[in-house]
Structure 1
Amino acid sequence: MAAPTTHVTLSGIAFAWPDGTPVFTGLDLAAGPGRTGLIGLNGSGKSTLLKLIAGALTPASGTVRVSGEVGYLPQNLTLDTRLSVDQVLGVDRARAALHAIEAGDVAEEHFAAVGDDWDIEERTRATLDQLGLTHIDLDRTVGQVSGGETVLLRLAGLLLRRPEVLLLDEPTNNLDLDARRRLYATVDAWNGLLVVVSHDRELLERVDQIADLHDGEVHWFGGTLSAYEEALAVEQDAAERMVRSAEADVRRQKRELIEAHDKLAGRMRYAKKAFENKRAPRAVMRMRKRTAQVSAGKHLNLHEDRLDQAKERLEHAEGAVRDDDEIRVDLPHTAVPSRRRVLSLRGLALRYGPRAELEVQGPERIALLGRNGAGKTTLLSTIVGELTPREGEVAAHVPMRYLPQRLDILDERLSIAENVRLLAPGADPQRIRAQLARFLFRKDRPDQLVGTLSGGERFRASLAALMLAEPAPQLLMLDEPTNNLDLSSVRQLTTALESYRGALLVASHDLPFLQELGITRWLTLDEELTETGPPQAP
């Protein structure tokens, strides 16, 4: 674990993608022992920053200094399914050498492979037990374990190396509730230097400080996510007051400039009339006219300078206010009467796994829980007809739409507006654009090609296409919708679903998000689909 001198320091970091798109220009960061939660909007460069610290990317300029060994868990983890578990953990050579020595082979290379790690098997089993992986045999292949277990295995391998610096990128994305609890416990027990990128509120309540990556700079807040949000709310309230004050100053300076123009015009009319009436010698009149023009010009310049200064103050004040827009859209046609039948599952046996019986009525909001691999995605895919059940019947009594994890419902070659028109061919184009503005696609943004959108924008566009579809969906099904969304996007999703008046069926492990939705029924999928109460928070 980390010594008090363990640190990560980045100085003057510049980095751009191969196409020239800049990510950082002159970024500075310094972190010492403790747990840091790194947050920021999608596309702000959080994952890139971790890769720079880990050495997976090289900056164009600047320096990265890390004291101690680094353990890095990437967001998109791909492992060779042919590898054995002990290979993934990095203990295969030491295990093989230890077994050879125990069998009587005293070759020097075996002792070199073991080194001082004679308790490697016991330490490995203890680490797997800590992460809830006791049931996994070290000789199994990775292809025999679930995606969530693969993430935990990679984390176990890092812990076995005992790094001083641990970097985790969205580690809970593919973990079920039990696996998340195990990871939370590991974070709670960590006493080295930890930097974790996450939108998981429960995880971010376990850090010592928040590093907010915003506009290419890191802003530090001591404490957990809640402390950060409280401090940010105070800061934003002050920033908004400064914007209102600056706006009032700009309006005042504009009025004074107009008044100055009016006074100048009056003086010019008076001077012209006096000149025409020859109330004084021509030379005197010309001198007075020039003096008045110079004086008036200075007066106008003064007011113009004051207006420019007021505009600069307004621009600076507006720059301090975050873009925290919320999706506010009226969807009256999605409303479902309280006793209307929405969905019926009768004697349903999934192609891969359990059985399910279910009746949904009215605008219920249902959470679908279950461990990784239990069949939640299979159930949703069966309901929408993408998979055929072994037996049983699915009956949807209202129009329904489904947003899968892979977000592949839109045509990347078409614009956002064109994709919406595919699902709502009878809708007026101007109405579509007006509604897309409420989903935060304003001005020319509806004409942007889907293939050029960021992850958060793609999710918002997919959600807009489904919710604006015709006929209006009265049953909306979402599969792990908060995966890969930043905190701001999760808030936008929550506010959008507050406007939705139909029935919701949401598969998710994100308890804070589900609680914000006002879930009315909690279902758990195991051997069969059963109704349970809300799970206890970790």
Structure 2
Amino acid sequence: MTGIDLHLSCERVGLVGRNGVGKSTLLHLLSGDLRPRSGTLVVDGRVRLMRQAIRTSATETIADLFGISDALRILRRAEDGTAAIDELADADWTLEERVRGALSRVDLDASASTTVASLSGGQRTRAALAAAIFDAPDFLLLDEPTNNLDRAGRNAVRRLVEGWTAGLLVVSHDRALLDGMDAIIELTTLGATRYGGNWTRYRERKAVELEAAEADLAHAQKQQTAAKRKAQMAMERKLRRDAAGSRKAARGDMPRILMGARKNAAEASGGSGKRLTERLVDDAADAVAAARARIEVLQELSVVLPHTGLHAERAVLELHDVCAEYEPDRPLFQHLDMHIVGPERIAITGVNGAGKSTLLKLIAGEQPPTAGHVCLQVPSAVIDQHVSFLDPAASILDNFRRLNPDADENACRAVLAGFLFRADAALQIVGTLSGGQMLRAGIACRLGGPTPPQLLILDEPTNHLDLDSIQAIEDALHAYDGALLVVSHDDTFLEKISITRRLALVPGERGAVLRQWDEGIA
């Protein structure tokens, strides 16, 4: 990431760009976690960064996450009369109320003493967001704030953003969240470009801009071709004149002094003409380069999934009276019934902790039910958000070969190239990949083999993909002719892949139950 020029003020700005282009790096520069190698960075006011991932110990509490543990201990000593005089002077009697207020703003039912390890992934994300807004910073930096959040959590983040009156820069692939921005900044290999308005407005302007840039490039290329043709014609004319002069000199019917003068004049004229045509060709090449520079040269992610051959009346999956529990007498869910026939497209939704991922494990045979039976009747493949089926110590190519032993070398390379892992890129070690790259590699390895699954099970597939990759995956899944079972809180994604049924795991006193929703997303 080089040559970035930005000015951010008291506004809500979305930062978008492909995986690996430097969005998170820019946030860490603005937060002070990193220093720029060159250039000037000026920050006026207090900046807080909500981190994308929270690593915690077993004993860390929300107070530790907020950085207020010492201040709370002073309050406790003040309350029981053991605080020193200087501690009483430093005591913040509004602290606990402000903690409750920050947690309330993200709809998190917890307290300062709650251990972070006891929270679900979505609750940890909310806790991190509450910690970032706790002391009312002048500028808030959010890195994928709706990842791992259920629908209620996503709505809480959107309400927070809508009511935020200080500065805000958010990296996100949540299109509904980005539609609440005042401006969009696109980060590419060419730099940073600002677009006024929200995500929808940005996409409209981007389409117009790219169309104009492509027209300018086509015109410049046409002018370059004309300049080259003109240069070629000038060269051919010179060669003909030189040949005619040589023939006349050979006949000896021209005085030697006149022949020498004409030769000198021709050489002078030819040299001048050559320099002129060369300059015209160079100018045309520069115009093409300038036009092409306006278009970021990006490889398109093109995902084409093979036909599965799934018949419309083929029984795919049956769950009958299924129960699951992690502790005796504390069922996670109970008496679940589900049937999938033919290429249905089913979304499973529900709050964080309702058991959605566990249900997928039961269906895939990775975990047995406590009661009831699961009957999966077609070949299936599971792609979880952590892509756990990939060997992190092996290359992408080796993982593909392991999962698709019947595919030859050319087939392996061709599939991976379609997922933008061309040539040496296919030899990258999986453990070194970004989250988005890893998910892309997982999809390639699971779906690119010669025998595609007839049931595809996806667990939060868009969590780590950039927006262009999400759109490519949406297009591919829309054309997929097998059955789909998807856990996702991304309403836009579910709409784009044409979900036909929506099932919600709804918590109850004796575990969650499965309900079908005919309209909307639960």
Q: By the TM > 0.5 criterion, same fold?
A: yes
Q: List per-residue Cα deviations over 1:314-360 (Å, max 9, x = no partner).
A: 22222212346544454443242222222222332235421432211
Of 496, 502, 510, 1:516 maps to 496
Deviation at 1:224, TM superposition (A): 0.9
Q: TM-score, normalising length from structure 2?
A: 0.90
Match of 2:181 in 1: 207
Q: Give yes or no for the alignment of 1:310 onto 2:284.
A: yes
CA contact (8 A) 2:386 2:439 kept: no
**Following the alignment from structure 1 to structure 2, what is the Cα–Cα distance between the partners of residues 236 and 390?**
56
CA contact (8 A) 2:301 2:469 kept: no
Q: List per-residue Cα deviations over 1:249-285 (Å, max 9, x = no partner).
A: 2222232232223222212221121111122113322
Q: Kindly tell me: are residues 120 and 415 of structure 1, through their superposed partners in 2, closer, same or farther at Cα, counting changes over 3 Å?
A: closer
- The letter of the residue matching 2:116 is V
Q: Kindly tell me: are residues 159 and 45 of structure 1, through their superposed partners in 2, closer, same or farther at Cα, counting changes over 3 Å?
A: same
**Following the alignment from structure 1 to structure 2, what is the Cα–Cα distance between the partners of residues 456 and 88?**
27
Q: TM-score, normalising length from structure 1?
A: 0.87
- Paired residues for 1:169-188 under 5 Å: 169-188=143-162
- Paired residues for 1:499-538 under 5 Å: 499-526=479-506, 527-535=512-520
Q: Kindly tell me: are residues 427 and 388 of structure 1, through their superposed partners in 2, closer, same or farther at Cα, counting changes over 3 Å?
A: same
Match of 2:333 in 1: 354
Q: Kindly tell me: are residues 463 and 323 of structure 1, through their superposed partners in 2, closer, same or farther at Cα, counting changes over 3 Å?
A: farther
Q: Kindly tell me: are residues 274 and 450 of structure 1, through their superposed partners in 2, closer, same or farther at Cα, counting changes over 3 Å?
A: farther
CA contact (8 A) 1:93 1:113 kept: no
- The letter of the residue matching 1:70 is V
Q: Give yes or no for the alignment of 1:476 onto 2:456.
A: yes
Of 122, 129, 135, 2:104 maps to 129
- Paired residues for 1:60-459 under 5 Å: 60-98=37-75, 100-103=77-80, 107-115=84-92, 118-133=93-108, 135-215=109-189, 217-323=191-297, 325-352=299-326, 353-355=332-334, 356-412=336-392, 414-442=394-422, 445-459=425-439
Q: List per-residue Cα deviations over 1:281-304 (Å, max 9, x = no partner).
A: 133223323432442343333323
Deviation at 1:532, TM superposition (A): 1.6
Q: Give yes or no for the alignment of 1:32 onto 2:9.
A: yes
Any idea what SS the aligned residue of 1:347 has? strand
Tell me the number of residue pairs that the alignment of Structure 1 and Structure 2 aligns: 511
Any idea what SS the aligned residue of 1:478 has? strand
**Following the alignment from structure 1 to structure 2, what is the Cα–Cα distance between the partners of residues 478 and 517?**
12
- The letter of the residue matching 2:369 is P
Deviation at 1:445, TM superposition (A): 4.1
Q: Kindly tell me: are residues 78 and 332 of structure 1, through their superposed partners in 2, closer, same or farther at Cα, counting changes over 3 Å?
A: closer
**Following the alignment from structure 1 to structure 2, what is the Cα–Cα distance between the partners of residues 292 and 189?**
78
User: Which ranges in structure 1 are unaligned for 5 or more consecutive residues?
Assistant: 1-22
- The letter of the residue matching 2:348 is L
Q: Kindly tell me: are residues 340 and 92 of structure 1, through their superposed partners in 2, closer, same or farther at Cα, counting changes over 3 Å?
A: same
Q: Kindly tell me: are residues 446 and 499 of structure 1, through their superposed partners in 2, closer, same or farther at Cα, counting changes over 3 Å?
A: farther
CA contact (8 A) 1:341 1:360 kept: yes
Match of 1:49 in 2: 26
Any idea what SS the aligned residue of 1:72 has? strand
Q: Kindly tell me: are residues 297 and 408 of structure 1, through their superposed partners in 2, closer, same or farther at Cα, counting changes over 3 Å?
A: farther
Deviation at 1:501, TM superposition (A): 1.8
**Following the alignment from structure 1 to structure 2, what is the Cα–Cα distance between the partners of residues 454 and 140?**
31
Q: Kindly tell me: are residues 27 and 431 of structure 1, through their superposed partners in 2, closer, same or farther at Cα, counting changes over 3 Å?
A: same
CA contact (8 A) 1:351 1:388 kept: no
CA contact (8 A) 1:82 1:143 kept: yes
- The letter of the residue matching 2:106 is L
Q: List per-residue Cα deviations over 1:495-536 (Å, max 9, x = no partner).
A: 222332211111111111111111111111230222224546
- The letter of the residue matching 1:125 is R
Identity %: 39
CA contact (8 A) 1:479 1:508 kept: yes
Any idea what SS the aligned residue of 2:42 has? strand
More divergent stretch after superposition (151-160 vs 466-475): 151-160
Any idea what SS the aligned residue of 1:350 has? strand
CA contact (8 A) 2:24 2:143 kept: yes
Q: Kindly tell me: are residues 337 and 327 of structure 1, through their superposed partners in 2, closer, same or farther at Cα, counting changes over 3 Å?
A: farther
Deviation at 1:76, TM superposition (A): 1.4
Any idea what SS the aligned residue of 2:313 has? coil
More divergent stretch after superposition (414-423 vs 458-467): 414-423
**Following the alignment from structure 1 to structure 2, what is the Cα–Cα distance between the partners of residues 486 and 350?**
34
Q: Kindly tell me: are residues 412 and 154 of structure 1, through their superposed partners in 2, closer, same or farther at Cα, counting changes over 3 Å?
A: closer
Q: Kindly tell me: are residues 237 and 96 of structure 1, through their superposed partners in 2, closer, same or farther at Cα, counting changes over 3 Å?
A: same
- The letter of the residue matching 1:78 is R
More divergent stretch after superposition (69-78 vs 430-439): 430-439
Q: Kindly tell me: are residues 78 and 345 of structure 1, through their superposed partners in 2, closer, same or farther at Cα, counting changes over 3 Å?
A: same
- The letter of the residue matching 2:246 is K
Q: Kindly tell me: are residues 274 and 406 of structure 1, through their superposed partners in 2, closer, same or farther at Cα, counting changes over 3 Å?
A: same
**Following the alignment from structure 1 to structure 2, what is the Cα–Cα distance between the partners of residues 71 and 62?**
22
- The letter of the residue matching 1:256 is K
Q: Kindly tell me: are residues 442 and 359 of structure 1, through their superposed partners in 2, closer, same or farther at Cα, counting changes over 3 Å?
A: same
More divergent stretch after superposition (81-90 vs 249-258): 81-90
- The letter of the residue matching 1:180 is R
CA contact (8 A) 1:209 1:220 kept: yes
Q: Kindly tell me: are residues 294 and 336 of structure 1, through their superposed partners in 2, closer, same or farther at Cα, counting changes over 3 Å?
A: farther
Q: Kindly tell me: are residues 302 and 421 of structure 1, through their superposed partners in 2, closer, same or farther at Cα, counting changes over 3 Å?
A: farther
- The letter of the residue matching 2:170 is V
**Following the alignment from structure 1 to structure 2, what is the Cα–Cα distance between the partners of residues 321 and 451?**
32
User: Which ranges in structure 2 are unaligned for 5 or more consecutive residues?
Assistant: 327-331, 507-511
- The letter of the residue matching 2:203 is E
Deviation at 1:441, TM superposition (A): 3.6
**Following the alignment from structure 2 to structure 1, what is the Cα–Cα distance between the partners of residues 191 and 300?**
24
**Following the alignment from structure 2 to structure 1, what is the Cα–Cα distance between the partners of residues 52 and 351?**
20
Q: Kindly tell me: are residues 100 and 384 of structure 1, through their superposed partners in 2, closer, same or farther at Cα, counting changes over 3 Å?
A: same
Q: Kindly tell me: are residues 47 and 327 of structure 1, through their superposed partners in 2, closer, same or farther at Cα, counting changes over 3 Å?
A: closer
Deviation at 1:136, TM superposition (A): 2.2
Q: Give yes or no for the alignment of 1:494 onto 2:474.
A: yes
Deviation at 1:54, TM superposition (A): 1.4
CA contact (8 A) 1:351 1:387 kept: no
Q: Give the CA RMSD over aligned residues.
A: 2.6
